Chains A and B, each alone.
Chain A
Amino acid sequence: MPFTLAIWFSLTNQRLISPLATRFVGLDNYTEQLTNDLFWTSLWNNLRFAGFVVPVQTGFALALAVMVNQNIRGRVAFRTIFFTPVTVVIAAAATIWVLLFNINGLVNGLLELVTFGNFAPDWLNSTAWAMTAIIVVSIWQGVGFQMVILLAALQDVPVERYEAAAIDGAGTWQQFRHVTLPGIRNALIFVLTVTTILAMRLFDQPTLMPRSPGGPLDSTRTVMVHMFEIGFGRQAIGRGSAVAVIFFVIVLVLTVIQRLFLREEIAT
């Protein structure tokens, strides 16, 4: 029901509080958004974020899962530690990392030590580095979740398959490539899809971390930050709904493409 309403509102000039009567405006809200530079900047920032976070975070999660799946002492303790940041809500995680990424903060202290003072950007006030800071927080907070899902899948791969592969003379890497990866295929697709959707929904970090939401100079403005500003900040329900519908279509298309692509990729 609210979604139908979103489509309907997106075709009108509905406002939250307005003395003027609501009027049907057809596709005006859509053409306005699609010709609006700010909208494209926001979408580009989302894609930039997703393009990095989705492969890196998934790869990182898989590496963690493989490591804590080894037959070693203390693996449960390590698994628990890697998962702990998941229980730290994003608002808290973002706040701690704002302090860590301060120009005189701990991250720069470490970097100066390693680079002999040659590299110490003002992370969150820099158009070049603010997004990197957001990426670090997102991975720190989220990777444990993916790790646990992949770990469960790893433990479901029958051990006989590894034995058979070993008898055929497969090395560690070949076993990983031909036994592990196909064995956890579904979980991997699930993780990729969920991470992509979450990356498109990015809102909390760019709102809380830079001095102004989406800043500096819109370098971390995402589609959700954009929608929030229009639909809530300016109370333009019609235009905000148009952004919401466009956002939904993008998520849907990305999900479908990913499913089709991965299905073929693994079939070959």
Chain B
Amino acid sequence: MTSSRSQSSRRQSAAPGQSLVGRWLLYAVLTALAVFFLFPLVYMLASSVKPDDQVLANSQSAEAFLPTPFVGLENYGDAIDRAQLPRVFLNSVVISSFIVGLGLIVNSLFGYALSRLRFTGRNILRAAIVALIIIPFESLAVPLLFMGAEVGWLDTYQIQILPFIANPLYIFLFYTFFLSIPVSLEEAARIDGAGPFQIFTRVVMPLAKPAYATVAILGFLFSWGQFLWPSMVTRGVDVRPLPVGIGVFKTTPPVSWGDIMAYTVLMTLPLLVIFVVFQRQFVQGVASSGVKG
């Protein structure tokens, strides 16, 4: 790498030659990849406004990506009726909000206690948290299903929320973040007469915003897409979240692809919009999940 590069302050890795040809080649590859990552989404959007029988018929021509023939929002209406979408959507919102909201409180308090309080067994507890990170939830699903059935919690919201609130990975992320905040700030607040609760909400929480954002984003990504556990503990439509709700299209023929694509659009859109608005935070959040690995 020659040192005649632009004055950009960003740290760059090796460039593939400075030649114009190399640069155009790189653009060509990047564009091809962008097409690979985006075409299924464009296809989904276009298909969601076509007559059901035209979706497949169109899919081997360029029309696959165009909203023709156009039937407006008819499929969306059908999807909403057939899958009882408002109910299922609400279920997803309730479940994800509680998991993320309560999770932020519980995990951050746990991480804070671990980083500040000196108590016997602290090191053992910390080691246990790290060890728990690698236990996949799936290996607990069957006994949890049994416990849930024993207490009569099948087909409820709480059985879809409670197991996911406390999360060792998030506790660990908060713990390492709190360690990086100097204790002197909290001591200063204490001298000014702030109680432990005030110190936490006024001093620590504002400083730890990036950690909260990371955990909220990871938690939301994960809980919105949950599939295995809700398929085990929900039977009716009453408490079922979006990813499981898509099953109704599979069991009742004929296959109406237009409706299905309308449903997937509605399932995908909320996260997609949040992502477009907060893409910086998303990318930083995901990146920092790997730093401590």
State the A residues within 8 Å of B (CB). Answer: 2-3, 5-6, 9, 14, 16-17, 64, 66-72, 74, 78-93, 95-97, 99-100, 102, 104-106, 108-109, 112, 140, 144-145, 148-149, 151-159, 162-163, 166, 172, 175-176, 179-180, 186-187, 189-191, 193-194, 197, 200-201, 203-204, 207-208, 224, 227-228, 231-232, 237, 240-241, 243-245, 247-248, 251-252, 255
Contact = CB atoms under 8 A, between A and B. Distances in A.
B104 to A, nearest CB: 20
Given A67-B29, A152-B291, A157-B13, A91 B140 contact: no
B125 interface: no
Given A86-B286, A194-B293, 16 more contacts: A2-B143, A16-B149, A68-B30, A72-B27, A92-B267, A95-B260, A96-B261, A106-B64, A149-B286, A153-B290, A187-B293, A189-B293, A227-B141, A237-B145, A243-B142, A248-B139
6 contacts: A3-B139, A71-B6, A87-B221, A149-B287, A157-B13, A245-B139
Nearest to A93: B40
- Using C-beta atoms within 8 Å of the partner chain, give the interface range for chain B: 35 or more
Interface in B35-73: 36-38, 40-41, 43-44, 47, 55-56, 59-61, 64
Nearest to A110: B60
Interface string B1-45: 111011010111111110000010011011001101110110110
Interface string B114-157: 00000000000000000000111011111111110100000000
A97 B6 CA distance: 42
B176 interface: no
Contact of B13 (A6, A69, A237): A69
B271 A89 contact: yes
A40 B197 CA distance: 54
The 9 closest A-B pairs by CB, nearest first: A190-B293, A109-B60, A89-B225, A91-B243, A149-B290, A152-B287, A231-B142, A240-B142, A248-B139
Contact of A100 (B5, B43, B146): B43
B275 A87 contact: yes
A163 B287 contact: no
A165 to B, nearest CB: 8
Contacts of B188: none
A78 to B, nearest CB: 5
B283 interface: yes
A81 B242 contact: no
A87 B37 contact: no
B268 interface: yes
Given A87-B271, A187-B290, A232-B232, A201 B136 contact: yes
